């Protein structure tokens, strides 16, 4: 369908207005979809005009209102844990058993080869679905952590022309109080990564956070925390992180993932926390599929709570909020395929982001790109690489009702092979 020519037009596409950098387009639908023509020239978006323009000087393809998105940005993943479910299932589905099962799998199986093949399998899935950049958290304790970080560094280099990959350390914050934690911070700086960890309620949490902020400031590192992944209303680590950011006058980007306990706290506590989060310039990442899976899980009991954070309230405060894949086919989430559309579709259903859809589609494109410091990705504007996804769907109700497995993915204006890797590629690792 897409020509190999260096110059052509994609005509009569439906593009969400919020994803267009030029805001002078008239929305063609109540959902905010604009009828737009795009000229692709030498791999870039050369011109963007109102739909059904009279351009006749090159090849054109009439998309007949098919929706175009920029390529997805997946800001929170766990590639190192991915695709181990068949050898290490979480039979209870609980968070505690997920932790223990993943720990045992790492002890028994996480060689450099095992990590490389499973992580690249996840990257291949992401690429085929249309992801342009992703951030992965890497379990980073001791020598095992250094092995994993070296593997992701190798994969970053191999895939750099196709996917931007960012690596984040993942340890509990007390680890940074030790000499090993300082070595880890140095390693993260060496590979150009992001300093990160899990914040738990603790008497020493304030001191732990001050140490992490100091390590990050000394090395000019950004920060990314796992925060309040629980239904305990007394878990207020997000509030403590925001206070620490202000106390330490931290100016680099901070991202906090999960923030589930916000949804079970009193409104005045939530408001107080979000005011601090906004003042500190923190971005929030919600992981709707994994948290739906883990939170409020008790054997033989129907769940009551959806597990996600207060997405609407966060957005209403003017705080950036993104949605991301999180875990895929591992003890923390037994499903998933690194697909940004599945993330968005499930977020719409779980968090009621529909009617009106407003600008929620930026939560898997433009917003995470900004949080990752990638200002030319996740949007559609003149002069940038034509990294686009063309769906057969014409309206959001169509887009979110089918998997859109027949989507076209363009990279630098050319179609890529969207074939997914076969699960059998990992059979020998999983001993199947």
Catalytic residue positions, numbered: 229
Distance CA 53, CA 36 (A): 9
Distance CA 277, CA 282 (A): 5
Distance CA 347, CA 154 (A): 32
The CA R_g of the chain, rounded to the nearest whole Å, is 22
CA distances from 317 to 174, 267, 273, 276, 314 (A): 31, 13, 11, 11, 5
Distance CA 342, CA 200 (A): 30
For 393, the token pair is: 């769907």
User: 326 with 290: CB under 8 angstroms?
Assistant: yes
For 121, the token pair is: 């399998």
User: 38 with 10: CB under 8 angstroms?
Assistant: yes
User: 432 with 86: CB under 8 angstroms?
Assistant: yes
For 41, the token pair is: 């020239």
């Amino acid at each position: 369908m897409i020509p190999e020519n260096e110059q052509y037009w994609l005509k009569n596409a439906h593009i969400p207005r919020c994803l267009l950098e030029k805001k002078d387009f008239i929305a063609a639908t109540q959902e905010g979809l604009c009828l737009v023509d795009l000229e692709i020239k030498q791999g870039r978006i050369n011109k963007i005009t109102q739909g059904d323009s009279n351009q006749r000087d090159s090849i054109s393809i009439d998309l007949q209102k098919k929706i175009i998105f920029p390529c997805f940005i997946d800001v929170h993943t766990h590639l190192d844990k991915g695709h181990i479910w068949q050898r290490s299932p979480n039979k209870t589905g609980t968070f505690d058993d997920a932790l223990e099962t993943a720990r045992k799998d790492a002890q028994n199986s996480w060689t450099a080869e095992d990590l490389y093949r499973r992580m690249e399998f996840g990257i291949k899935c992401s690429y085929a679905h249309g992801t342009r950049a992703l951030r992965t958290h890497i379990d980073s304790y001791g020598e095992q952590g250094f092995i994993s970080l070296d593997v992701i560094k190798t994969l970053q280099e191999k895939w750099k022309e196709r996917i931007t990959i960012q690596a984040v350390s993942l340890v509990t914050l007390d680890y940074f109080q030790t000499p090993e934690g300082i070595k880890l911070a140095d390693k993260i700086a060496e590979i150009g990564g992001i300093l990160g960890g899990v914040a738990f309620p603790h008497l020493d949490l304030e001191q732990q956070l001050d140490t992490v902020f100091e390590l990050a400031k000394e090395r000019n590192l950004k920060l990314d925390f796992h925060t309040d992944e629980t239904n305990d209303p007394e878990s207020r680590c997000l509030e403590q992180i925001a206070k620490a950011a202000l106390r330490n006058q931290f100016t680099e980007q901070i991202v906090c993932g999960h923030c589930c306990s916000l949804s079970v706290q009193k409104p005045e506590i939530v408001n107080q926390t979000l005011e601090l989060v906004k003042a500190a310039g923190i971005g929030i990442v919600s992981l709707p599929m994994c948290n739906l899976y883990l939170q409020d899980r008790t054997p033989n009991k129907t769940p009551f709570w959806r597990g996600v954070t207060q997405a609407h309230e966060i957005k209403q405060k003017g705080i950036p909020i993104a949605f991301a894949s999180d875990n895929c086919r591992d003890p923390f989430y037994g499903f998933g395929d690194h697909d940004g559309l599945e993330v968005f579709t499930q977020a719409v259903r779980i968090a009621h982001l529909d009617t009106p859809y407003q600008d929620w589609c930026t939560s898997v494109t433009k917003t995470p790109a900004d949080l990752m410091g990638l200002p030319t990705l996740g949007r559609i504007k003149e002069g940038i690489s034509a990294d686009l996804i063309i769906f057969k769907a014409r309206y959001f109700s169509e887009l979110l009702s089918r998997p859109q497995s027949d989507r076209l993915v363009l990279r630098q204006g050319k179609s890529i092979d969207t074939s997914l890797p076969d699960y059998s590629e990992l059979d020998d690792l999983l001993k199947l």
